[in-house]
Structure formats: structure tokens, C-alpha cells
Structure 1
């Protein structure tokens, strides 16, 4: 595991973790929100055994990557490509989880000649569509999506997570539990917290999470990139017990892509379905062009 901080445009820096060996197939990991470059060791070990080189990237405002107020989903692709260029990876796979799904697809759309395959895990879709569709609508982020200002959204996030992200988000706006039984089992086991005792997503406070939410809300959705420009095969994995991102969103995303497969799992929720990502990545590698 090697940590790098690289300079990018506008006097910013991007922080990344390179978990694999140069001879393995590079995979850029687009984390959820909140999230960071840190990946659990069992996941990393599994990827490496399968011949992949996982590369975690902090999005702006998370971990050690410079914040980027006002950026869009499409804007972020310059960070992703800067990482691939720095690591001399002419081609790379992408895995996007939850919030990271949008960034994974935006990157694949921006560099179709470099991305032979994408896996979307419990991924959010275009919220400008989902917000008006009952079975797809998410209401957990309304405080951020419809905040009067970035400062107001930051205040809402600090009230929800704590100024340094030391409180776990547990309930929806109506008081309901947001974690389904398979996800609750993962949280109760403590493995996610143990994988990152430093709470890297909130190293800079809540600004990374707030800027994620402002960028992907119904006001902007996927307007900053063209998802139909994705040319590679995409496999989506989604738990039928996902109480965070409705399954209808995965179905919608799959319908927009020229070469997609949606795999659903009745036993999984939002977190637990991550166990299916590696098998999907291995399969998508067999379908894509990895030469060059």
C-alpha cells in the first residue's frame, strides 16, 4: 500500500492510495458519500488475488484531497484522469459505490477509450429523474439538496454527523431506521469502523460530503456529463434490501447504458452487496478490451 498526493489544476492536490502491484489490472475505486481512499484489507486482498490493482482516490474535501466548492460530477473527471496518468495506467477499470456510481460513469464517459469496464455497486442514479419518481425517490439528503446555501448545507451536515463526522447517520427524516438487517449486521460487527480508525472521510470536516450532495442533487443530477457516452460493458449489483438507494435507481441507470447487466440480490442491503462487486469486476474484465 502506497499513499500519494499529486498536484492538479487550480493549485489543488489529490490524495490516493495504491494498493496493488504495477503488473495487475488497475481499478479506480469511486467511494461512497461519505467515504475516502481507504479500502478494507479483506477487499484489497481479494482484488489482488483476482489480478486487480485497487486504487482508492479521495474526492475533493475528503481525506487529504483539496476541497473544490461548486464543482460538478463531470468536473471531477479531471481528478480521476490525473490519477490514472500519474500512475501511468493507459487503461483502467472503475468500481463506483453508492454516491461514487455517478463519478464512475462520468469518468467512463469522459475517457471511453481508456475504460474497458465498470462495476456499479448500490449506485445512485440521476437524481433529477429519481426525485420525481415515487419508487426511486431518496429523501435522506433533502436538507443538502435544497439548502439555501453551501453554509446552510454544512450546518445541516454538522448537526447530523457532528463537525468531525463522529456520529453515525442512523435515521431518516421521519425517524425510520435507514439500515436494513443485512447492513445492520455489518455495522454491529464493527468491521467498517475498524478498517479506518482515523475516520478519513471527515479529516477536513463535513465539506466533502456537502459538496458531493450539492453536486448530485435534483437541481443538477447528471447534467454535467453524458452517460450515453459510456461505451464499455457495465455490471450493476444492487441489494433488494437496500433502504438507502432504491432498486428502481439501478434499473434506470441500466436502461440508459448501451451494454449493461443488472444483478439483484434478495439477501443484500446497501452495504452488504459490496461482497458481490469483485465477481462482477472479474466478469466485466472478460467482456472488455484491456489491451493498449
Structure 2
């Protein structure tokens, strides 16, 4: 199986007003409804999803390298708010109007930042990293994650340096391969999928670990937007077999209550890889919001 992972139909870059460039990849029909994809931690625009589903649904998937990852120019000291500002220009450049947005894993806060800025028609958060620094999780984080969250709050410069010291394609692949559930390992180690996944990770670190480190710092700190201010539909997708300690301690239950138009989908047999095992369900539900 390839789990819908295929070569992009096109790749390119968008120049921003300050001269930096954001790199992107596209799949699906050029005139399809735009779906902006915020990839997970330490992966680049090369790892898409959907395969032939996109053509059938008339959706155009656009995956973007965040600054400092893959082929996007770095932006030291960037914030989630600055990410939204960058994407405004990319949306205009690519003729996306108000796109649908998907955020996978650590891409979740980046997707929700776009929704909070009024830049999304609807959002799908899939196996998403929750706001781990929020007080509602004070007593439910595993010790190692709590240490990271506390360090981000107390000494963000040291935390970012620590993330950079750990960050590499090899280290993160080993972490995924050894801590994922059996459901996820069967997907991630599928020969076709693994090749695509590791290619995307290698590409993500081509400029070094600083982009990954900044992403992790932003995801593990307090988010600069109020989740209750998000007015568009948000679907939160989690699998009960997901063993990641940095996704959501309560599998999106409390975040669903915080976002006014949120709906949680908790799949009993799925795990963190459900973006690829349940692609059609995720996209169909997302598209239903704008039909």
C-alpha cells in the first residue's frame, strides 16, 4: 500500500514582501477547491496525502514548508502570528481565496492560528498537538513532556537550543519507530510510505535543526490566540490507539469544548496515522462544511 502518498503534481516557491520565500507542493486538479496543509513535526512539503481521492473530490492540496524547514527561507524568532501573516501572501499568490485547512500532529497549532486569524473556511485537526502548556493539562502530561513544557515557559532560549540539539531526521525517525503503536508502525514502516516519510524528514532538516526547534518551541508554549475566538467549523480527529505523548492528553476532548464550532471524531481502531488510513473520511467531512 502507499496510503495515498504520491509524487506532487507541482512544486514552487512564493516570495514574501521581506524577500523570503515559502516553498510549497501541490496535488490534485489545478481548479479544485484549495486545501492548505500544515504538515507534522520535522517533515516537509513532500509528504502529502489523498492520492486519487483529491481528483475525485475536486480538491487541490497545497502543502507548505514552514520557515527554516525544507526549501522555505528561515525566519529567526518567528511566531504563530507571523506564520499567519506569511500565509496571507501565499494564499493570494496561489489564488486560494479562503481555503480549507488541515493540520496534522505538530501542524495543528499552525492550522488553528490561521483559523483564529480568519483565514480558513473550515479546519481539520488530525492527531493534533494540543496546547500542552494550557493549565488544563497541568496534571496530565507525562514527566518528559512536562519538563519540556516547563522549560519553554521558564527559559525559551535554552529550550529552543535543546530542541535543536536533539533534532535530526535520524533521531526523530528512531523515536517514531520505537514509540508508535503497532497500528502506526504498520503504516510508517510500509515500504512505500516509509520511503516518502523519510524523504520528507531528510528534506525538512536540509537547512539544519533550527526550523524544527522553533516549531517545537511554538507548539509547546502558550498559543497567542484564544481558541474560543475561532468561529469556523473545526473537526478534531483522534484515534484511541494513538500513543503519542505530545498529541493530546485527552484526545481533543477539552479542546473541542473550547472551540465553539468544534466536533470531535474519536475512532476506536485508528491511531496517530489516521490522516492516511482514514483520508477520505477526513476530507469528505471537511468539504461538507462548505458545500
Q: TM-score, normalised on structure 1? A: 0.84
Matched residue SS, 2:139: coil
Report if the CA contact (8 A) 2:11-2:25 is conserved: yes
Q: Given the alignment of the two structures, is residue 65 of structure 1 paired with residue 72 of structure 2, yes or no?
A: yes
Q: How many Å separate the matches in 1 of 2:98 and 2:143?
A: 34
Where does residue 285 of structure 2 map in the other structure?
283
Q: How many Å separate the matches in 1 of 2:191 and 2:150?
A: 30
Q: Please give the per-residue CA displacement for 1:95-132, whole angstroms capped at 9, x wherever unaligned.
A: 00011111111101112xx5221111001121221684
Compute the displacement of 1:272 (Å).
3.8
Q: Please give the per-residue CA displacement for 1:217-274, whole angstroms capped at 9, x wherever unaligned.
A: 2xx321x223223222111110111111235151122111111111111222212454
Q: Aligned-pair RMSD on alpha carbons? A: 2.7
Report if the CA contact (8 A) 2:25-2:62 is conserved: yes
Match of 1:119 among 121, 124, 128: 124
- When structure 1 is superposed on structure 2, of 208-217 and 279-288 the one drifting more is 279-288
Where does residue 166 of structure 1 map in the other structure?
170
Residues 141/12 of structure 1: CA separation in 2 closer, same or farther (3 Å cut):
farther
Aligned residues: 277
Q: How many Å separate the matches in 1 of 2:46 and 2:209?
A: 17
Where does residue 75 of structure 1 map in the other structure?
82
Q: How many Å separate the matches in 1 of 2:93 and 2:99?
A: 13
Where does residue 134 of structure 1 map in the other structure?
139
Where does residue 215 of structure 1 map in the other structure?
218
Where does residue 209 of structure 2 map in the other structure?
206
| Structure 2: runs of 5+ lacking an equivalent | 1-8
Where does residue 240 of structure 1 map in the other structure?
240
Residues 130/56 of structure 1: CA separation in 2 closer, same or farther (3 Å cut):
farther
Q: How many Å separate the matches in 2 of 1:151 and 1:129?
A: 20
Report if the CA contact (8 A) 2:129-2:219 is conserved: no
Where does residue 88 of structure 1 map in the other structure?
95
Residues 54/156 of structure 1: CA separation in 2 closer, same or farther (3 Å cut):
closer
Compute the displacement of 1:30 (Å).
0.5
Q: How many Å separate the matches in 1 of 2:280 and 2:146?
A: 29
Compute the displacement of 1:153 (Å).
3.6
Residues 233-272 of structure 1 mapped to structure 2, 5 A cutoff = 233-244=233-244, 245-272=247-274
Identify the structure with the greater helix proportion: 2
Where does residue 228 of structure 2 map in the other structure?
228
Q: Given the alignment of the two structures, is residue 10 of structure 1 paired with residue 18 of structure 2, yes or no?
A: yes
